[in-house]
Structure 1
């Protein structure tokens, strides 16, 4: 090897090592040990805050995928009835129903106004509320059909993460998560060997992807596709007791993670380091099938799918600005 080439290689190696060291220092920097409890749920909700029932969606549905459009209208999906739904004049209104092909489970708005939908039959769709058109975005990976999809989230650049849990379980952890880069036509495999990857969210700084490992009752954190070089690897971010597992996720502006704990009838709140504030338990007359959640105007909105109801509660924190409002 020529001297100039060797020198260039050494400079590159030292640069990479310096960048890694800087990342490691930031990652493993020590913090003050708290003298008392780290958190209390009163930091998230006032003791005087009460749950309010927003609406009941009727029998037969399994309402989830709650979203707000730019006008403040609530949008939902129901896989059991193959419906895309919205709320008008305090009534749940069917926008689209396709009982032959549609099994919508997750939904998120793109900032161009389209509603992206994950389907339990293995298709990522976009729905245009203006034209009423449903379009297939992705239905395969590496030349093979995708298995059933569940949830999705956009990053700040418009890249899309989506989960593929169908067929996986605690004893068969074959679930996968994919990433569709902005403008890309093919998805890339982001993470695999997960026991039913359900809900998904992105940390406030964009460097972590939180994945609900539903059938192991835990949240895992994976460095995002756009995270800078760092020694951080995928790790267990939070574990839970009771219920079945974590479903939908959302993040507030301070980086706290809100977890819809399915079959537990509660929301679990963790800080950005994975320490728990506590739980926000739904009222006694609500069901325990807590599926999805989102923020709007100082409230945390939650779907409970056994009784097909939407509940909300006033919170002290502000939701992280979603991609569609950026």
Structure 2
């Protein structure tokens, strides 16, 4: 009985310390309560901004949009197994892969590509060489992979959704330190982890839980100790679920809402600005998005089109742009 009493006392002390830490942090934030609506999409999109069609591809299922340092667009298509680039206003075939889904540039210039075959390729645009850099976890093959993002130290997060669903939430997310090729388990029991992004301050990882139509926020692998725990950052309605994610330099999160034909925008506290709907006549398969030169670029994969719209904020500088 005495031991139990000491255990309860110890837990109470831990709780009070955590609560005090959280209370101190909240007090130091000195935020004021919002009056009326917190946000409006006009804070993100200029009043005269209009969607512009950038390019249309032939077949495939275009997603994984990226810009290299020269401003060239790169994409992938898992359905046709192609790495693609835009040359002179046309979508051009670059290289064949089993099922490329996501792509991000490393700061050494290589393009890292997740594949539904369960591997990550590293493609060198300078030489055309490609090699598999990650294919196993603890000696076992990985399942089909989807998206990836580098943190500012060069560590790599990637999602493994294949085989998971709303009724079978067995998807996983991994982290690979910058000096390693061995994945570490970062999160599990997720209903189809799809897109992944890192908050502007580097302390959170955003994960699209596609099969539950929501985005999760989880403390980053290298974040300092904090009372913050994994939580639901955003829950959406309509469509199927969130796909690709992007963050601007103010910390706002942009979510490609698949089969809703829209981009959802939330601030760093999870409050909504609203949505940016694709123009009339566009498809609804919004898959991925990225920023470039004052524009938000979006891939729509049912009609294989890339659209862009002017935005007031700049994209968070990615590791590959360093």
TM range (shorter): over 0.9
Correspondence list, 1:274-289, <5 A: 274-289=270-285
CA distance in 2, matches of 1:235, 1:25: 21
Instruction: Give the structure 2 partner of residue 269 of structure 1.
Output: 265
- For 1:62, the equivalent position in structure 2 comes to 61
Long gaps (5+) in structure 1: 1-13
Is the contact made by 2:215 and 2:235 (CA closer than 8 Å) also made in structure 1? yes
SS in 2 for 1:26: helix
Matched, 1:131 2:127: yes
State the match for 1:48 in structure 2: 48
Select the residue among 300, 308, 315 that pairs with 1:319: 315
- Aligned-residue RMSD, C-alpha: 1.6
The alignment covers a number of residue pairs equal to 307
Listed one character per residue, the Cα deviations across residues 44-63 of structure 1 (whole Å, up to 9, x for unaligned) are: 0012110000000022x000
**In 2, distance between residues paired with 1:23 and 1:86?**
47
| Shift, 1:285, TM fit | 1.1
* Match for residue 147 of structure 1 among 143, 146, 153: 143
Q: Assess if the C-alpha contact under 8 Å between 2:156 and 2:176 holds in 1.
A: yes
What TM-score do you get using the length of structure 1 for normalisation?
A: 0.91
How far apart, CA to CA, are the structure 1 residues paired with 2:105 and 2:191? 27
TM-score (norm 2): 0.92
On the 8 A contact 1:23/1:229 being kept in 2, the answer is no
| Rounded Cα–Cα distance in structure 1 between residues aligned with 2:289 and 2:229 | 27
Residue deviations 1:195-251 (CA, integer Å, cap 9, x gap):
000000000000000000000000000000010110111000000010000000000
For the residue of structure 2 that corresponds to 1:161, the secondary structure is strand
Quote how far apart the aligned CAs of 1:23 are: 5.8
Which residue in 2 is equivalent to 1:25?
24
Tell me how far apart the structure 1 counterparts of residues 193 and 235 of structure 2 sit (CA, whole Å): 14
The alpha-carbon deviation at position 20 of structure 1 amounts to 8.8
Whether 1:297 and 2:310 are equivalent positions in the alignment is no
Q: Write the distance in 1 (CA, Å) between the matches of 2:32 and 2:71.
A: 41
Contact 2:18 2:227 in 1 (8 A): no
User: Which residue matches 2:161?
Assistant: 165
Q: Residues of 2 paired with 1:153 and 1:306: CA distance? A: 24
Q: Any conservation in 2 of the 1:202–1:251 contact (CA below 8 Å)?
A: yes
1:38 to partner: Cα distance: 0.1
- For 2:3, the equivalent position in structure 1 comes to none
The 2-side partners of 1:166 and 1:223 are apart by: 23
The unaligned stretches of length 5 or more in structure 2 are 1-12
Q: In structure 2, what is the equivalent of residue 203 of structure 1?
A: 199
2:214/2:242 contact within 8 Å kept: yes
Q: Distance in 2 between matches of 1:323 and 1:168?
A: 29
Query: Shift of residue 27 of structure 1?
Result: 5.4
In structure 2, how many angstroms separate the alpha carbons of the residues matched to 1:281 and 1:198?
21
Matched, 1:189 2:188: no
Distance 2:242 2:259 in 1: 9
